[in-house]
Chain A
Amino acid sequence: MNEQVREIGTQIKVTINGEEYTARRGSTVLEICEDNGIPIPTLCAHDDLKPAGICRICVVDINGGWNLETACTWEVHDPDTVITTHSPRIRRARRAILELLLAEHCGECYTCIRGGNCELEDLAEIYGVRDLRFEREDPRFEPDTSSVSIYRDMDKCIQCRRCVRACDELQAVGALGVFGRGPESRVDTFEGMSFDEAVCTNCGQCVAHCPTGALQEIDHTRAVWAAIEDPEKHVVVQTAPAIRAAIGEEFGLPPGTSVTGRMTTALRDLGFDRVFDTNFAADLTILEEGTELLLRLQAALVEGKDVKLPQITSCSPGWIKYIELFYPDLVDHLSTCKSPQQMFGALMKSFYAEEQGIDPEKMVTVSLMPCTAKKFEAQRPEMADSGHQDVDYVLTTREMAQMIKEAGIPFTQLKDSQYDEPFGDASGAALIFGATGGVMEAALRTAYEIVTGREVPFENLNITATRGFEGFKTGSIVLEDVLDEWSFLEGVELKFGIAHGLANAHEVMERLRRGEMDDVHFIEIMACPGGCLGGGGQPIPTTDVIRQARANAIYSEDEGLPIRKSHENPHVNYLYEHYLTDGPCGHRSHELLHTEYTPRGFRLKK
C-alpha cells in the first residue's frame, strides 16, 4: 500500500498564506481552511454531499503550481504543502467565474424566494459586483409548476449539481441529471419530463440543497392568506413536531432553540382561528400503528396467517411514494395507518366539526410541516375520508416564517402560549416523531406497556438504541412476564430497525428483498436524512451539525413534558371513548385513519 494512503489521518504540518497549521492528513484544503477560520468561497460544496469540484469558485494555489486547484477536492497528503488562498491571480480567477455565473443567471433577487438567503447573491455581495461584465443571457426556460410540491425555475440554476447529488447520494432516486453539453447543458429529468410526471418522491431534498432560488416549494401562502382574511372561514392550523425546533432559525435564533410557545402565539396573531398540535395525531398514530403491529404478530404467531412482517412505518409521504415507485410489490409491508397530518385532517372535518357544530364546508385546514412531500400527500385523491379534502393547504417551515415576517410579528419577543383544546396536550413520545428513531421509540414505550403492563425498562424512558444519525440502526427488546391476553408474546425478542434518508431506505429494502429482514418485526423509515427535523421544507441550510442541534431540542423538550407516553394522552383516550368507540384499528378508525397505497412502478406508461 502506498505510504501516503496508509498514513491518512495522521497529523501533518501545512503552510497556508505563510502561516503553519496542523492538519489531518487526507483532509481537503477546504476542510483545513474551514477548521482554521480561513474563508474560501464555495458553491457546489455542501457538508452533506461528496466533494465534486464543479463550480471552481473555491480555487487556491497549491505549491505555486501552474493551475489553480479546487480547495473542496484537493486532499492534502504531502506534509510540506504550501497553500495560498488569496493573491491577485486567485481573486481575478474567482471573480471571472462569478461574473460568468451571473451572466447565465436570470432572476431578480427582490422577487426571489431565496432573496437574502442565496449563496450566489452572498458571493456577489462579497465580491462587490456592482455591474455585469458579461451581458446577461436571455432566459432559456419556462418555469415548471407542474408538481404539487416543487417549483423549478431553471434560469436561476448555476449547475452546481447539488440537487442532482442530493437526489442521488442522499435519496437514491436519481430524478435529476445534467443534459446536453456546453452552453446547452441544463439540469433536467429523464426525457425532460415535467416534475409531476418524473420519478420523484417530492421529498424536497433538492430544494434544501440548492444554493439559489432555482428550486423552491410550490407556494401555498397566498391561499392561506386568502383563507385567513375570509371572515366566513374557520381556519385551523396543525403544527408538526419538527417545526418548533427549527423555525427559530428563520428569525436569527441559533439552531436547536425550541420555540413552541412563541410559535403558537405567532400563529394566533397571524389570524388562525385555532392552533392545534399535530402531536395529538402522532399519539393517535402510535395507538393505531402499535395495535396494528400486535395484530400482525398475533396473526403470524398464533393464527399462522401469512401477514407481512416486518411492518414498516407510513408517516413519511416521501418514503411512501418511494416504495410505491421502486418496490411496488412490497407495499403490503407498510402500516395502513395514515400519517399524523392526514389523521388530524380527517378528524378535523369530522369529529371536530361535529363537536363544535361547524360546517366542514366552511373549514379550512392548514398544516405546518417541515416537508414538501406533505403537499403531495394532502392532495392524494384518497385523502378525503371526512367527505372533503382532509388537509387543504400545507405550509413549509420556510413559508410560515415568511408569513410571520410579512405580518410584522416580532417573533423572538413573543410571549409563550399553549395550543388550543381539544387537541392541546400531547405526549413527549409524539414530539420525538420529529427525529429519526422517534416513531420507534414512541411505539416501543406504548407497545411494551400494553403487552407487559410495565414501563419500558430504560432509564427515564429514554430508549437510546433508537437515537442517533447512523444510517440504519437495529435493536431489540425482550417481552417478558407479559399480561395474560398477550401470552403468545412471552419471551419474544421484538426486533426493530430504523432508517432515514432514502438511500438508507434503499439498502433496507434490498436486504428485505433478499430475505435478510425476515426476523425483524418493525421498521421505521423516514425519507429525509435525520428524519423530519431534516425535512425538505426546513430552514436552509440544514447540515449534520444543525440536525443534531434540532434533535437535542426535541429530546430535551420530551424529557420535560408531563406526559411521555402516547397511550396516556387524555385527548386520545377521550376520542376512543366518544368517537372511535370500537377502539384502535376498529371499524370507525379504519374508515378515517387508515389508507391504502398505489403500486406505481417506474417503467414508462405505454
Chain B
Amino acid sequence: MKATAGVDWCEVVDALAEKHDRKPHALMGILQDLQMEYGHVCPDAQIEVALALGISPTHVSDVISFYHFLCSEPKGQYVVWLCQTISCDMADKDQIAKALSDELGISFGETTGDGLFTLEYTNCMGMCDQAPAMLVNDEVHVSLTPDSAREIIAGYRREGGLG
C-alpha cells in the first residue's frame, strides 16, 4: 500500500480520470483504484475526484460512506471483516466476534495501537454455506471457531511483524 503523504492528488486523480472517464459514472472505478492503492481515499483526494468528474465533493464522500469497502481514513495493515448477515449470525458469529475482540484488544470499528489490525463487520459475502466467515484484506476464512479465528489472527501478526 502506498503512503499518502506529499501525494499530488490532482495528478493521481487526473491519471485515473484519463483511465476511467471524466464523467460521474466513472466514480466507483476511480474510488476503487484509490482505495486499492492507498488503503483509503482521503478528503483531499475526494475533492480532486469531484473536480475531475464535475460533481460535488459531498457526493463523493457520501458514496464512500455507503460502501463498507471504501473509507476516507486509513485503516490497519490487515482489515478483518466479520460477516454479520443472517447465516453467519445464526452460526454463532457473536462467539467469533468476541474471540476476535479479545485477541486484538479492540472493539469493532477500531484499529490496534500498532496499526496492524482493524476490526469491522461486513454484510453477506456469499459464504453462507461455510458460515461463519470472515475476510482479512482479500483472503477469505470460513467455518470459523473461536480458536481458529485466534490462530488466523496470530498468523497475520507473525507475517505483519516480519514484513
Contacts and interface: CB of A to CB of B under 8 A. Distances in A.
A174 B66 contact: no
Nearest to A179: B65
A174 B57 contact: yes
B58 A604 contact: no
Contacts of A190: 43, 46, 56-58, 61
B58 A189 contact: yes
Contacts of A174: 55-59
Interface string B60-97: 01100110000010000000000000000000000000
Contacts of B47: 602-604
Contact of A177 (B43, B44, B58): B58
Nearest to B56: A174
Contact of B56 (A173, A178, A179, A181): A173
A180 interface: yes
Contacts, number: 44
Nearest to A181: B66
* Residue from B55, B57, B72 whose CB has the most chain A CB atoms within 10 Å: B57
Interface string B17-39: 00000000000000000000000
Nearest to B42: A604
Nearest to A173: B56
A173 B47 CA distance: 14
Contacts of A177: 56, 58-59, 61-62
Interface residues of B, number: 14
Interface string A186-220: 00011100000001000000000000000000000
B59 A604 contact: no
A168 B54 CA distance: 12
B62 A179 contact: yes
Contacts of B62: 177-179
B54 to A, nearest CB: 10
Interface residues of A, number: 17
Nearest to A606: B44
Nearest to A510: B54
Contact of B44 (A175, A178, A604): A604
A275 B145 CA distance: 78
Contacts of A179: 61-62, 65-66
Interface in A586-606: 602-604
A528 B57 CA distance: 22
* Residue from B61, B65, B66 whose CB has the most chain A CB atoms within 10 Å: B65
Contact of A199 (B43, B44, B57, B65): B57
B61 A191 contact: yes
Contacts of B55: 174
Nearest to B66: A181
Contacts of B72: 191
A174 B62 CA distance: 11
A168 B56 contact: yes
Interface in A226-249: none
Given A180-B65, A181-B66, A191 B43 contact: yes
A560 to B, nearest CB: 44
Given A173-B56, A174-B55, A181-B66, A604 B43 contact: yes
A602 B46 CA distance: 12
Contacts of A603: 44, 47
Interface string A166-185: 00100001111111110000
Nearest to B68: A181
A174 B44 CA distance: 17
B145 to A, nearest CB: 29
A175 B66 contact: no
Contacts of A181: 65-66
A173 B55 CA distance: 9
A312 to B, nearest CB: 22
Contacts of B59: 174, 177
B51 to A, nearest CB: 9
A281 to B, nearest CB: 34
* Residue from B57, B58, B66 whose CB has the most chain A CB atoms within 10 Å: B58
A180 B63 CA distance: 9
A602 B57 CA distance: 10
Contacts of B58: 174-177, 189-190, 199
Contacts of A180: 65-66
A201 to B, nearest CB: 13
* Residue from A189, A190, A604 whose CB has the most chain B CB atoms within 10 Å: A190
Contacts of B43: 190-191, 604
A510 to B, nearest CB: 10
A157 to B, nearest CB: 15
Interface string A367-385: 0000000000000000000
A177 B55 CA distance: 12
B84 to A, nearest CB: 11
A176 B43 CA distance: 15
A265 to B, nearest CB: 45
* Residue from B44, B59, B72 whose CB has the most chain A CB atoms within 10 Å: B59
A199 B57 CA distance: 10
B93 to A, nearest CB: 18
Nearest to B60: A190
A580 B57 CA distance: 46
A181 B70 CA distance: 13
A52 to B, nearest CB: 15
Contacts of A176: 58
A548 to B, nearest CB: 30
Contacts of A602: 47, 57
A180 B44 CA distance: 20
Contacts of B57: 174, 190, 199, 602
Contacts of B56: 168, 173-175, 177, 190, 199
A179 B57 CA distance: 13
Nearest to B62: A177
A597 B38 CA distance: 38
A190 to B, nearest CB: 4
A177 B43 CA distance: 15
B50 to A, nearest CB: 8
Nearest to A186: B65
Contacts of A178: 62
B23 to A, nearest CB: 16
B59 to A, nearest CB: 6
A179 B61 CA distance: 8
9 contacts: A174-B56, A174-B58, A174-B59, A177-B58, A177-B62, A179-B62, A191-B61, A199-B58, A604-B47
In the complex, the 4 A-B pairs of residues with the closest C-beta atoms, listed nearest first: A174-B56, A177-B62, A177-B58, A179-B65
Interface of B: 43-44, 46-47, 55-59, 61-62, 65-66, 72
Given A180-B65, A602-B57, 6 more contacts: A174-B57, A174-B58, A177-B59, A190-B58, A602-B47, A603-B47
